[in-house]
Amino acid sequence: MFDVESIRKDFPILDKQVYGKPLVYLDNAATTQKPRQVIDSISDCYLNTNANVHRGLHFLSEEATRQMENARETVRRFIGAGSTQEIIFTRGTTESLNLLAHSFTRAFIKPGDEVIVSCMEHHSNIVPWQLEAQKSGLALKVIPMDDRGNLDMEAFEGMLSDRTRLVSVTHVSNVLGTVNPIRDIVRIAHAHGVPVAVDGAQSVPHTGIDVQALDVDFLAFSGHKIYGPTGVGVLYGRKSLLEQMPPYQGGGEMIGRVSFEKTTYNELPYKFEAGTPDYVGVIALASALDYVTGIGIDAIAEYEHSLLDYAVERLSAIDGLRFIGTPAVRSGVVSFLVKDIFPSDMGTLLDHLGIAVRTGHHCAQPLMDRLGIPGTVRASVSFYNTRQEIDALAAGIERVAGMF
Ligand code: PLP
């Protein structure tokens, strides 16, 4: 039995009232709430071990460094990586993907080479490649999808050529909830000798991922979407590829030896970690991963899946509601429109009932263009949500729809 009531006690913010109504927080794809364990970890760092990492010989610096490197090991275990040298701390998924685009392009891309993304990418997995394309002459190719929101795998297979250098796709769509068949994508890409990068922002918190079992070459995710603090994230990269890639930013721990004539770089993963890292955030991220591991990612996936099924069932019964995305395998989110009500009107009126959802293009404008709509209303669940909250959402949508 999944004891959601006892889990909710770990998240103080869930007891909040907004506009005099109990908070129903269904914006977890944007960011998750934090358990007391994570909040305590942050204050504990500042109360007891704060000192800059790596360069100090004194007690506190060594303790902070030890905790940060332990956190790297926690991340390694959580995603099934082979070595902590493959775990790079960043500010989040966006920075991870910018680092990847910048360094991968410099190492491996020549004019006319191609990178394949999908039509359901977040802007964070589109714009960094476009920025690099301006400088390197790389071409972006886009995997299409069917009207339900499933990637067209046949089209994908046909796109790979001897110019393809990388496939970079989202594991779970933050708009449609589609769980993309990463195993098949990797199998097909690797058969052509092409590495695969996965945007795990929406999958790592909800289904987990094992980078070695899936054989992915890069993985990006954000701490704040997995119950950790804002401002910290991870880029996993296969060591043999990272070793060939140049640094992304300069300064701090990324150097080997600096002179005005020539600078050499540190070993992995420090080569990619310029400047003072957010060591407090990194340590708190490890607390969040420990928390998730304590509940169990499989139990989380199962519970959230049943909650989403329930949401789909309840929302299906609402007159005039249509789902945006009915993928074969879904995780985390459900997007919809009701009659011709603007998503922002729906979102604002739900907010006044205490229900937090997200509306708009969800940083996926090319996907909105593909769907021919300007935006959606999106409810996104976590393991701390309940069926009663889904009932409140359904009742709220009906009430708002009745006003129009
Ligand atoms: N990729 C996906 C699929 C996302 O859902 C998000 C955030 O919503 C991002 C990337 C960007 O994450 P962040 O803003 O934490 O860098």
Q: What is the pLDDT of residue 398?
A: 98
In the three-class reduction of DSSP (H, G, I as helix; E, B as strand; rest coil), residue 194 is classed as coil
Residue 204 contacts residue 79 (beta carbons within 8 Å) = yes
Query: pLDDT tens track of the chain, all 404 residues?
Result: 789 999 999 999 999 999 999 999 999 999 999 999 999 999 999 999 999 998 779 999 999 999 999 999 999 999 999 999 999 999 999 999 999 999 999 999 999 999 999 999 999 999 999 999 999 999 999 999 999 999 999 999 999 999 999 999 999 999 999 999 999 999 999 999 999 999 999 999 999 999 999 999 999 999 999 999 999 999 999 999 999 999 999 999 899 999 999 999 999 999 999 999 999 999 999 999 999 999 999 999 999 999 999 999 999 999 999 999 999 999 999 999 999 999 999 999 999 999 999 999 999 999 999 999 999 999 999 999 999 999 999 999 999 999 99
Residue 314 contacts residue 248 (beta carbons within 8 Å) = no
Residue 68 contacts residue 283 (beta carbons within 8 Å) = yes
Nearest CA to ligand 1 atom 8: 30
Residue 280: phi and psi, rounded to 5, are -65, -45
Distance 56 CA to ligand 1 centre (A): 34
* Ligand 1, pocket-test mutation among 124, 127, 169, 224, most atoms within 8 A of CB: 124
Nearest to residue 319, comparing CAs of 338, 334, 335, 336?
A: 338
Q: At what angle do helices 387-403 and 297-316 cross, to 10 degrees?
A: 30
Strand partners, 336: 323, 377
- CA–CA separation, 282 and 177 (whole Å): 28
Distance 297 CA to ligand 1 centre (A): 20
Nearest to residue 198, comparing CAs of 130, 185, 207, 187?
A: 185
Q: Measured from the CA of 225, which atom of ligand 1 is nearest?
A: 15
Single out the catalytic residue among 363, 368, 373, 401: 363
Residue 143 contacts residue 185 (beta carbons within 8 Å) = no
Q: Detail the DSSP E strand segments found in 60-192.
A: 87-90, 114-118, 139-143, 164-170
Active site residue 363: yes
Distance 343 CA to ligand 1 centre (A): 20
Distance 391 CA to ligand 1 centre (A): 28
- Alpha helices, DSSP H only, in 243-296? 279-295
Q: What is the pLDDT of residue 56?
A: 79
Q: Measured from the CA of 174, which atom of ligand 1 is nearest?
A: 5
Q: Cα dist. 108→11, 63, 147, 228, 242 in Å?
A: 45, 38, 34, 33, 11
Kindly tell me the burial class for residue 15, based on how many C-beta atoms sit within 10 Å of its own C-beta (0-12, 13-18, 19 or more).
Answer: exposed
The answer, yes or no, to whether the previous bond of 269 is cis (omega within 30 of 0) is: yes
Task: Find the residues whose C-beta lies inside 6 A of ligand 1.
Answer: 29, 92-94, 122, 124, 170, 174, 199, 201-202, 222
Residues 6+ apart with CB under 8 A from 267: 85, 256
